[in-house]
Structure 1
C-alpha cells in the first residue's frame, strides 16, 4: 500500500483531526461496539472512541484488504491513546528479513510476555488520561525473534480507548517536537 511511497521523517497513518481519518481503514463494530469520532474535553480536536465489551469484535485495521500490505519501512511506531480503564489492545504485523509475518500484540490485560514463533503477546500499562506510546519495531524484532525488521504489514487497534494519532518515524521524536498539527493540545482555560 505504502511500499513505493517515499518514507522519511514522519508518516502518519491515522490523525483524528484530519477530514476523513478512517477513509483507508477497515472498521468493525459488532456486538454493540462503538467506533466514532467525538470531542474530548481536554483536547482541541476530535478523537476516535473505540468501545466494546467484546474486545475482538470492535477494531480498526489498516490496510482495509487483508491481502494488502501496509509496506511502512520506518522503524518507530507512535500512538497517542487515552486510557478509558477498559480492555485495550493493538497489534502490529511486521515482516522480517526472513520474509516471515510476525504479530506483536500489546494489551493492558496481559500480565506476562508470551512469545511464539509468529505471535508475541506483551503487557501494556497505560497511565490515566492520554499516553504517548513509542515502539521501536527494529529493536523488538531483533530481541524477540533474532531477525531484522523489514516493514510493517498491518496495524490493528482493538477497543476500548480513545485514539488521537498513529504515525511512524525514522527516529524517536519527543511529543513537544512534533509538528503542531500532530500534537495533543489541551483546551485553554477560560
Structure 2
C-alpha cells in the first residue's frame, strides 16, 4: 500500500477522529478511521465512542474472546503495508481486560516474522516465524512504542525491512496508530499526534498514570 510512497517522519494508519485529510495521513482517514482496515467481530463490538477521560472520539474493540474480535490492516488479505519506518506507536487505553496485538514484518532473509504482544502472557517465546511476548500497560491511556528493527534483530538476528500487516485485538480503546522514523519527544510531536487530557478541576486531580508511556461513553457510532 505504502511501498511506493515517500516515507519519513510520521505515517498514520489509524486516527479515531476520522475526519482529517492532510498528506501524511491521506490513506488513514479520509472518511472513516477504518477505511483501510478490515474487521472481525464475534460476541463483541467495534465502534466509535466518546472517551470520558479525553472527551474525544476513540475506537473501542471489545469481545469475550480476543482471537475473534480484531481489526487488521490492510483490509485485503493479499496486500501488504510496505512501511519501512521502524517504530510503531499506538495510543491505547487499558480497559483492564485481556488485550493483544500482532505485527507482521519482512526481514532481510525474505522471511515473514510475526510479533505478538499480550497483557496475559508472562514470558517471551521465540519460534521460527512468530515471537510472542508479555506487555505491561499502566492504568488509563498508554503510548506503546514498538522498535521493530530492534525486536527483529534481537529475536532472529536479522535486519528489519518493512512492516507487512498490523492487527489489533480486543479489548482496548484506540486513539491513533502510526509509524515513525525515530522516537520523538512530546515536544517534537505535531499537535494532532498528542493525547490531550482535559485540565483537571480543583477537586478532581489527574494522576500521572493517565499519560504514562508503556516500556459507559456517549456518542456511539458504528464502524
How does the TM-score come out when normalised to structure 1? 0.96
| C-alpha RMSD of the superposition | 1.1
- Residues 88-127 of structure 1 mapped to structure 2, 5 A cutoff: 88-127=99-138
Q: What displacement does 1:173 show?
A: 1.2
Give the match's secondary structure for 2:153: helix
CA deviation digits over 1:88-118, x for unaligned, max 9?
Answer: 0000000000111100000001101010000
Q: What displacement does 1:188 show?
A: 3.7
CA deviation digits over 1:161-182, x for unaligned, max 9?
Answer: 1111110000101234321112
- Residues 144-159 of structure 1 mapped to structure 2, 5 A cutoff: 144-159=155-170
Give the match's secondary structure for 1:143: helix
Q: Using the alignment, how far apart are the partners of 1:150 and 1:18 within structure 2? A: 29
**Contact in 2 for aligned 1:44/1:185 (Cα 8 Å):** no
Structure 1 stretches of 4+ with a deviation exceeding 6 A read none
Aligned twin of 2:177: 166
Q: Using the alignment, how far apart are the partners of 2:95 and 2:16 within structure 1? A: 17
The higher relative CO (CA closer than 8 Å, separation ≥ 6) is in 1
**Contact in 2 for aligned 1:15/1:182 (Cα 8 Å):** no
CA deviation digits over 1:44-73, x for unaligned, max 9?
Answer: 420111111111110000001111111000
Q: Using the alignment, how far apart are the partners of 1:121 and 1:184 within structure 2? A: 28
Q: Which runs of 5+ in 1 are unaligned?
A: none
Q: Using the alignment, how far apart are the partners of 1:139 and 1:40 within structure 2? A: 33
Aligned twin of 1:183: 194
Number of equivalenced pairs: 189
How does the TM-score come out when normalised to structure 2? 0.82
**Contact in 2 for aligned 1:132/1:175 (Cα 8 Å):** no
